[in-house]
Amino acid sequence: DARVTQTPRHKVTEMGQEVTMRCQPILGHNTVFWYRQTMMQGLELLAYFRNRAPLDDSGMPKDRFSAEMPDATLATLKIQPSEPRDSAVYFCASGLVLTSGGKTGELFFGEGSRLTVL
């Protein structure tokens, strides 16, 4: 049963600490998204990759956030240093998106990483 896997599921840390979240997309999917969800903001796009290349990270605070995809089976989102306002659920989603016609596939979401920064 193919699914997107995210770790850690929960993370509590102190302000100033580095946080790394990991995502294993579904095999064969060519697009990976990172979203952040809070009660106030809903699902907010942070960054996304197509065939491991970053396409857009304009939603991400560049001074402290970074997203990478070192290989096809791993995407990472790092926050350094973390701040209390970063407390949220971070979702990774993957999909097969066709850029030259044809149907755009739906996104499949991981269970999310719930981050609390004290």
Q: Which residues bind another protein (CB under 8 A)?
A: 31, 33, 35, 42-43, 45, 48, 50, 55-56, 91, 93, 95, 97, 99, 103-104, 106-112
CB 86 within 8 A of CB 16: no
Residue among 68 and 111 whose Cβ is closer to another protein: 111
- 13 in Cβ contact with 116 (< 8 Å): yes
Closer to another protein at the Cβ: 73 or 104? 104
What's the min distance (Å) between Cβ of 59 and another protein? 10
Cβ distance to another protein smaller for residue 70 or 103: 103
CB of 16 to another protein, least distance (A): 28
CB of 50 to another protein, least distance (A): 6
Return d(Cα 30, Cα 7) in angstroms, integer: 20
Of 115, 109, 118, 116, give the one whose Cα is nearest residue 35: 109
Q: Write phi, then psi, for 53 (nearest 5 degrees).
A: -90, 135
Tokens 């407390």 belong to residue: 87
Of residues 70, 94, 88, the one with CA closest to residue 19: 88
Give the residue with the Cβ less far from another protein, 17 or 104.
Answer: 104
